Structures are given as structure tokens and as C-alpha cells.
Amino acid sequence: MFSRACQYAIRAAVLIALEGRNKRRMSLVEIAERTGSPRAFTAKVLQQLARAGILESTKGPNGGFDLPPAKAKKVKLSMVVKAIDGDQVYRGCGMGLPYCNPKKPCPLHDHFQEVRDELRDMLEGTDLHTLSLGLEKGKAFLKR
């Protein structure tokens, strides 16, 4: 469904949103540790998110990545996914036909449309702040 890079991005982004509520900035090392993701690779992913304007990065001692709650409420999951994987997963044709559309659909078009729409609605309707709430209550986890 999503690439590994994208999965790491989501994990990291939710965690950063969580700590952003404590006005904390998170270092790469801490993020990688708490999400169980490979450090150097996660760095690349976080750079992509920062370049996409999804989160802020700061160099130097006490630097790291941060995302204040006000912004976390505005960042939808779809933005994270799009920044890493593009939007084919929730917009493209299930059979991979580049020209598939309602006028000239693939055989799977109608069946797949519902699934894709539900995925898109979910991604566009879920923000990082909301997801971080589940984490704080200890009802959800990022690592074994």
C-alpha cells in the first residue's frame, strides 16, 4: 500500500506532533529510536517532509524536528503520503492503466473506485494532531 519510506514518515510525523504538544523538538536519533526506524534512512525521509513544508527542522545543539499543534491540526495524512509516495495510491487506477477514467474505465474501475475514495477520504480527513492524541493516551503504539 505505502512504501516503507512513507510508513516511516507517518510514524515519525505522528510522534513529532505528539511531542510538539509539549513544545518539544525531537532529534533524529530519538525519532528513529522511538519509531523503530533505521536512523540514516529516516533522516532522508524527514528531510523530504521538511522540504515539503510539513515540518520544521533546526540545526545545532537542541535542534531537531518540530511541528506545533496548530500546524499539526492542519497537516492531513494525505499530505504526508503525497510528499513521499505521490498520490497514485489514492488517485490512480488499480490495474495501473495510465489513461483509466470514467469515460474509458478499466474493468475494475467501479469496484475499485469505492475503495480508493474511502482511502482518499480517510487520508484527507485525518490530521496529525488527531493521530497524536491516540498515542498520548497510551492506547496506541509505534513500536513493539
Helix (H) or strand (E) holding 127: none
Please enumerate in sequence order all residues whose Cβ is within 8 A of that of 141, keeping only pairs 6 or more positions apart, or say none.
135
And the C-alpha cell for 116? 480508493
Are 19 and 33 spatial neighbours (Cβ–Cβ below 8 Å)? Answer: no
The residues in 75-114 that bind its own copies, with binding defined as CB under 8 A, are 77, 88-89, 92, 94-97, 99, 104-109, 111-112, 114
The residues in 46-85 that bind DNA, with binding defined as CB under 7 A, are 46-47, 50-51, 57-65
Candidate ranges 2-10, 20-28, 42-50, 61-69; the one touching its own copies (CB under 8 A): 2-10
Are 88 and 133 spatial neighbours (Cβ–Cβ below 8 Å)? Answer: no
Question: Residue 27 or residue 101: which is nearer to DNA going by CB?
Answer: 27
Which has the closest alpha carbon to 37: 48, 28, 27, 25? Answer: 28
Candidate ranges 24-32, 47-55, 65-73, 129-137; the one touching its own copies (CB under 8 A): 129-137
What is each CA distance from 110 to 24, 66, 117, in whole angstroms? Answer: 46, 41, 11
* Mutual angle of helices 4-20 and 39-51, in 10-degree steps: 70
Under the binding rule (CB under 7 A), the answer on residue 43 touching DNA is yes
Under the binding rule (CB under 7 A), the answer on residue 44 touching DNA is yes
Minimum CB–partner distance for residue 71 and its own copies (Å):
18
What is the binding site for its own copies (CB under 8 A)?
1-2, 4, 7, 10-11, 14, 77, 88-89, 92, 94-97, 99, 104-109, 111-112, 114-115, 118-119, 122, 126, 131-132, 134-135, 139-144
